[in-house]
Amino acid sequence: MIRRLLNFVVYLLGLAARPFRLLWRALDFTRRAIPNLILLFVLLLIVAAVLQPGPSVPAGAALILRPSGALVEQTVGESALDGLFSPDGHARTTVLAGLLEAVRAAEEDPRIKLLVLETDDLDVAGLSKLAELRAAIADFKMSGKPVLARGERFSQGQYYLASVSDEIHLARDGFVLLQGLASFNTYFRDALDKIGVKMNVFRVGEYKSAAEPFVRNDMSRESRAAARELLDGLWARLRDDVIVARKLTPERFDAYAIHYRDALKATQGDAAEAARAAGLIDHFSSREQWQERIAERLRMTPGARFGKKYPRIEADGYLAAVRHERQRAPAQIAVLVAQGMIVDGDPQTAPDVVSGDSFVRLIREARENRRVKAIVVRIDSPGGSATASEVIREELELAKKSKPVVVSMSSLAASGGYWIATAGNEIIAEPATITGSIGIFAAIPDISSLYAKLGLSVDGVATAPLAAALDVRRPLAPEAAQALQLSIEHGYRRFIDIVATARHMQPEAVDRIARGRVWSGTEAVALGLIDRNGGLDAALAAAAKRANLGRYTVVWPAPEVSAMRQLGRLFMSASADSEAAASPAVRLVNTLAADLESLRFWNDPRHIYVHCQCVAP
C-alpha cells in the first residue's frame, strides 16, 4: 500500500514537472539553434558577396563626390549600420584617403568624363584636409575634364573645396559664408574657484597653453600672439586659393568677407545674389535644373532628371570598381593612422584616440610582416600622454631599422603628435598643417577647498612626505610641486634633445622655435621641423622610393574593435545630432561637454603631457 502511494506521488510530481521539462527543452533548443542560425546567415552573406558580380563603371559617366559628416583619416569600428542610426541616414564620417584615391583614378580613367561635387552633407573638415582634396580635384580638372559643384548653401569649408570647380551652382535661397578663422577657448578658473577646485599646473614654454583654460580667465599674451600669427597665415592661404580659382581681386574678396553686411545691403538682404555679385558663384539652380546641367555637360539628352537618365557612379562605388579591376601587387606600404588624442595603455571606451599599446601593436605587426616594405605614419593628433608618445616613438625607431618610415602630417600633428613624428626618415606636411608645440606640462587638481565647503575632512598617516602627495583631496605639498617642476623641466630637455637629434639641429636652435609654439606646415619647412610640403600621395611616393618599389598595394591596418564597443557607438550615434544641423544652444552644450570630456583621457602615469590646445581650422 505504501509503495503504491509513493508511486502515485512520484507520478503526480512527474506530471507537474512536465511543463518545466518542455520549457527547458525549448530553451535548450533555442540556445543551440541561435548560433547555427547566425552562422548560416553569415555564410549566406559570404556566398552572396562571392557570387555578386563586381561593380562596373558606365562609359561616359559622371563621378559623384558627396562627402558626408566629418572628413577623417580613418574610420575605426564603424559599419554600414551607422548610416541607419544617424539622423539624416548618412555616414557620420568620410575617409579622406578614399576620396583622394577615387579622384586620382578618375583623372586617367576614360570612362569618367565629369566630376560632380555636392557639399551639403560635409560637416567638419580641417583646412589641410580640404586643401589636399582640393588639390586632387584641381589636378583632375587639369586633365581637361570639367568639375561642377553645387550646394544648397556653402559654409566656409564647403565653399573652399567647391571653389576649385569650373562651375559653382547655388540654390536660389542659399548663401555663401566666408567668416574667417577664429580660435576661442572656454576658461574655467572662476568656475573652479567658486566650487573650490584648484588646478596646479607645471610647464616649460611660455607658448604652452594647453592648461591655460584651467588657471586663467583669458588667453595669455604669448598664446594670443601665436594664435593670431598662425590664423593670419592660414587665412591668407584660404583667401589666396579662392582668389586665384575664382579670378577675383583681393579687394573684391575682402569686400565680401570683411564687409558682408554692406554686401547684403547692396542686394536688399538677398544672400544668394550677394554671393553672385561678388563673383563667388556662377549660377542659381534648383535640384532639377542641376541634374539637367550635368546631363548637358555630359552631352546627354536635355531633360534628364535626378540622375536617372545620365550615367553616373558614386565615389564609393567607383572606388570599389577600380580596386576590383586592379591587380594587387604583393609588395605593401602600410599606412598607420594616428588620429586623436594620444593616451596611455589601451582604453577600450574611446574610438577616436591613439592608444599607446594598440598603436605599438600595429607598428610591430607592420614591422614583422614581410610583405610590408615601408610604413607611412599619418598623424592627425594634438598629442597627449608623454609616456605613450615616447613608447610609440621608440617602436617606430625600431621599425625604421628594417624598413623606411615616412611621416605624413594631416591637419594637426602637434606636441605629442610631433614627438612621434621625429622617428620618421622623412616628415611631409601640408602647408596648412598645424605642427610644433614642442613643450610639456603637468596638471594636478586640488579639491581640498571643495571638501571644506562640503564639510568633509581628510586625515591619515604616511611613511614619507610624498606618499600621498598626489591625493587630490589635499593641498599639493611644496616638495611635490618642486619635484614635478623638476620632472617637467627634464621632460622638456628630453623633448628638445629628441628633436635636435632627429632634425640634425643644435638643442639651442630647437629651443628658440619650441617653448610650446605652434607653426603652420609652411613655416615648419623654413624652420627645419619638417622636410617638405605635400600630402599623402607625396608620402606614399617617398616611401616607395626609399623601399625601391615599382608597383605596390596600400594597406590600412587598424586596431581591432570589440563587438560591445561597436554596439555602444551605434547607440551613441542613434541619439547624436549632426553638428551641421545643430542649433546654437546644442553647439554650446556640445562644446562644453567636449572641453570637459577631454580630461577623461589625461591618463599619463606620470601626469606629464605633450598636448596642444589647438584645433585645426
Q: Quick one: average pLDDT of 585-594?
A: 49
pLDDT value of position 20: 56
Q: Write out pLDDT tens, residues 167-214.
A: 999 999 999 999 999 888 889 889 888 888 888 888 887 888 888 888
Single-letter residue type at 529: L
- Cβ–Cβ < 8 Å for 606, 483: no
pLDDT value of position 325: 84
Rounded distance between C-alpha atoms, residue 43 and residue 26, angstroms? 25
> For residue 267, which of 248, 285, 284 has the smallest C-alpha distance?
284
List own/partner pairs for 186-192 with CB under 8 A and 24 or more apart: 186/213, 186/591, 186/592, 186/595, 187/212, 187/213, 187/216, 187/217, 187/218, 188/213, 188/214, 189/213, 189/214, 189/215, 189/216, 189/217, 190/217
Residue 17 Cα distances to 22, 28, 31, 76, 488, angstroms: 9, 16, 21, 51, 72
User: Is pLDDT larger for residue 509 or for residue 44?
Assistant: 509
* Active site (catalytic) residues: 208, 415
Query: Residue 331 belongs to what H/E stretch?
Result: none
Helix residue ranges, H only, 504-552: 507-513, 521-527, 536-546
Those residues whose C-beta lies under 8 Å from the C-beta of residue 614, and which sit 6 or more positions away, are 183, 382, 412, 414, 434, 437, 518
3-state DSSP call for residue 93? strand
CATH topology of domain 328-453+469-611: 2-enoyl-CoA Hydratase; Chain A, domain 1 (3.90.226)
Specify the residue for cell string 579591376. Answer: 325
Rounded distance between C-alpha atoms, residue 294 and residue 290, angstroms? 6
Q: Give Cα 70 to chain centroid, integer Å.
A: 7
Those residues whose C-beta lies under 8 Å from the C-beta of residue 528, and which sit 6 or more positions away, are 503, 505
Task: Return the biggest CA–CA distance within the chain.
Answer: 115
Provide, for the chain, the percentages of residues in helix, strand and coil under a 3-state DSSP scheme, each rounded to the nearest 5.
45, 15, 35
> For residue 123, which of 68, 47, 182, 190 has the smallest C-alpha distance?
68
Residues comprising the chain, all counted = 617
Lowest mean pLDDT among 41-45, 92-96, 560-564: 560-564
CA atoms within 13 A on the CB side of 523: 20
Single-letter residue type at 323: R
pLDDT value of position 577: 40
End-to-end Cα separation, the chain, in angstroms: 94
Reported pTM: 0.82
Q: Write out pLDDT tens, residues 150-164.
A: 999 999 999 999 999
Single-letter residue type at 419: W
- Cβ–Cβ < 8 Å for 510, 500: yes
Phi-psi region of 485 (alpha: psi -120 to 50; beta: other; left: phi over 0): alpha
Q: Quick one: average pLDDT of 258-270?
A: 95
Share of the chain above pLDDT 70, in %: 77
pLDDT value of position 324: 87
Lowest mean pLDDT among 85-89, 166-170, 246-250, 443-447: 85-89
As to burial, measured by CB atoms within 10 angstroms (0-12 exposed, 13-18 middle, 19+ buried), residue 38 is: exposed
- To the nearest 10 degrees (0 to 180), the angle between helices 96-107 and 127-142 is 10
Does the pLDDT of residue 297 top 50, yes or no?
yes
Q: Write out pLDDT tens, residues 336-387.
A: 999 999 998 776 545 578 988 999 999 999 999 999 999 999 999 999 989 9
Sign of CA dihedral 412, 414, 420, 424: positive
pLDDT value of position 605: 64
| Domain 61-182+220-324 superfamily per CATH | 2-enoyl-CoA Hydratase; Chain A, domain 1 (3.90.226.10)
Using pLDDT thresholds of 50, 70 and 90, give the confidence band for residue 600. Answer: low
Q: Write out pLDDT tens, residues 246-258.
A: 999 999 999 999 9
- Cβ–Cβ < 8 Å for 115, 143: no
- Cβ–Cβ < 8 Å for 132, 79: no
Does the pLDDT of residue 79 top 50, yes or no?
no
Domain ranges (residues) in the chain:
61-182+220-324, 328-453+469-611
pLDDT value of position 34: 67
Using pLDDT thresholds of 50, 70 and 90, give the confidence band for residue 472. Answer: confident
> For residue 361, which of 73, 562, 95, 560 has the smallest C-alpha distance?
560
Single-letter residue type at 296: E
User: Is pLDDT larger for residue 447 or for residue 499?
Assistant: 499
Single-letter residue type at 79: S
pLDDT value of position 199: 86
Rounded distance between C-alpha atoms, residue 278 and residue 408, angstroms? 37
Could you check whether 61-182+220-324 and 328-453+469-611 share the same CATH topology? yes
Rounded distance between C-alpha atoms, residue 403 and residue 331, angstroms? 13
DSSP 437-492: ---EEEEEEE-HHHHHHTT-------SSTTTTTT-TTSPPPHHHHHHHHHHHHHHH
Highest mean predicted confidence (pLDDT) among 80-84, 85-89, 501-505: 501-505
Task: Classify residue 304 by its DSSP letter.
Answer: -
User: Is pLDDT larger for residue 426 or for residue 455?
Assistant: 426
Single-letter residue type at 130: L
Rounded distance between C-alpha atoms, residue 71 and residue 87, angstroms? 18
Using pLDDT thresholds of 50, 70 and 90, give the confidence band for residue 545. Answer: very high
Query: Residue 603 belongs to what H/E stretch?
Result: none
Lowest mean pLDDT among 398-402, 433-437, 531-535, 583-587: 583-587
Q: Quick one: average pLDDT of 61-90?
A: 70
Single-letter residue type at 337: V
Rounded distance between C-alpha atoms, residue 511 and residue 496, angstroms? 7
